[in-house]
Amino acid sequence: MAGDVYALLSLEEKLKKSITQDPIVSTVDLLLYEAISLNASDIHLQPHATSLVIRYRIDGVLYDQSTLDATKAPLIISRLKVLSNLDIAQRRVPQDGRFKVLVYTPNMSENVIDFRVSTFPTLYGEKMVIRILDRSLRLLSLDAVGFAPTMHEQLLSATKRPHGLFLVTGPTGCGKTTMLYALISALDMHSKNIVTIEDPIEYELPGITQSQVNIKAGFSFENGLRAILRQDPDVIMVGEIRDKATAHIAIESALTGHLVLSTLHTNDAPSAVVRLLEMGIEPFLVSATLSGVLAQRLARRLCSGCKCEVPVNVERAPFIAQYNAALKTAHAPVGCKKCHTIGYKGRVGIFELLLLDDTLRDLIMRRVDVAQFRKEAFARGMKTLIQDGLEKVKAGVTSLDEVAALMVEDSHS
């Protein structure tokens, strides 16, 4: 340990330096190092009757890794608890912790990575899930997430207004918070006072003021947002609008000359408007303050080293016809050394951008249902999630199966 940062070396570097460690320490180090090398976002340690199953989440999908003997499970969990400052004697209630690792890559460059740890008691012992926050990999610019040029320009225009409310929506795990960071990074941080309230702070951004919700101390999104308004902010980022009180203060902030960026849990952009109304926000306030909504999903990006063009599967024909798309061929995953035989490497955003105009604001005032509002937004030029997804299929960025799977998930939501 160096302070609160744990130094992590590859097996090769340990051999070069003649470093010997306890077998459990070495196993944990190898586990963490492999996950980082594979660009995994999470590590799952799942205990069973006779084994400990290890799985990595890579580009949104869980993949089985090695399986260890069940006798090693409590030792490995305890080692990770020590790193996370958790109570190793407490096994019957969930615990949350975190630790930092200073990773030395083979060329000995350094990178600090945050790990968030969550334990959960199960029939065969504690399950542990470790979230990996590698700032060097996941904090993307707007240029890198997959926007079509026109949508990119429209988004920049909507989020660089001096005031108003702009929302990012989508299901859990679709990258909403990462998108908020990307939007803030595109702003002029030197001439604006940008203040955030998050739960938790996932990435540290230089040049802005970031705060974290602490419910035990009475610091919630609601009272935190009220306090931010006394900090002379130009731009306010609220990690998530969860209730009427937070929504109302965010709306008031936008109405009094601030740009407010936040997230909401809805399946598409038009549904965000209806969600605000369902929270009890008056239609005239939504109409006056909401400037735009970005709905998004994440699809796995085809590996550029091995993808191949194939005829569209006949089973997908009805899906394509449903959206009037002209696709005869598409690219499919193959698998190679570059992508660890998965066929995909990284992820790309699929987007739906709703920009409010006078006609849509009038519909909000009239409290029309979401189906009518969506129909009018589409008629006025809004590109839907499926349209954007199929364009990325046509361009060979992702596969038809990926886009179809995302739409199936929506239909079950």
Average pLDDT value for residue range 171-190: 90
pLDDT at 8 over 80: no
The DSSP secondary-structure symbol of 174 reads S
Q: Nearest CA to 61 among 412, 399, 411?
A: 399
β-pair type (194-198, 95-104): unpaired
pLDDT at 68 over 60: yes
What pLDDT is stored for residue 3 in this prediction? 40
What pLDDT is stored for residue 5 in this prediction? 67
What pLDDT is stored for residue 411 in this prediction? 54
User: What is the residue type of 313?
Assistant: N
What pLDDT is stored for residue 109 in this prediction? 61
pLDDT at 105 over 80: no
Average pLDDT value for residue range 3-30: 66
pLDDT at 368 over 70: yes
Contact by Cβ (8 Å): 270, 360: no
C-alpha pair distances (Å), 191 with each of 156, 194, 234, 387: 17, 9, 9, 37
What pLDDT is stored for residue 409 in this prediction? 62
Average pLDDT value for residue range 364-370: 95
pLDDT at 15 over 50: no
- Helix, strand, or coil (residue 400): helix
Question: Where does 314-380 have alpha helices with state H?
Answer: 317-322, 358-365, 370-379
pLDDT at 13 over 80: no
C-alpha pair distances (Å), 381 with each of 128, 336, 349, 375: 46, 40, 19, 10
Contact by Cβ (8 Å): 301, 345: yes
Q: What is the DSSP string of 77-126?
A: HHHHHHHTT--TT--SS-EEEEEEEEEE-TT--EEEEEEEEEEEEETTEE
The DSSP secondary-structure symbol of 305 reads T
Average pLDDT value for residue range 100-116: 75
What pLDDT is stored for residue 203 in this prediction? 80
* C-alpha span between 288 and 251 (Å, rounded): 9
For residues 2 and 288, the model is more confident at 288
Q: What is the mean pLDDT of the chain?
A: 89
Q: With pLDDT > 90 as the criterion, what percentage of the chain qualifies? A: 72
pLDDT at 140 over 80: no
Contact by Cβ (8 Å): 166, 158: yes
Contact by Cβ (8 Å): 54, 31: yes
pLDDT at 261 over 80: yes
What are phi and psi for residue 43, nearest 5 degrees? -120, 130
* C-alpha span between 115 and 289 (Å, rounded): 37
Strand partners, 263: 168
User: What is the residue type of 185?
Assistant: S
Helix (H) or strand (E) holding 68: strand 61-69
The DSSP secondary-structure symbol of 312 reads P
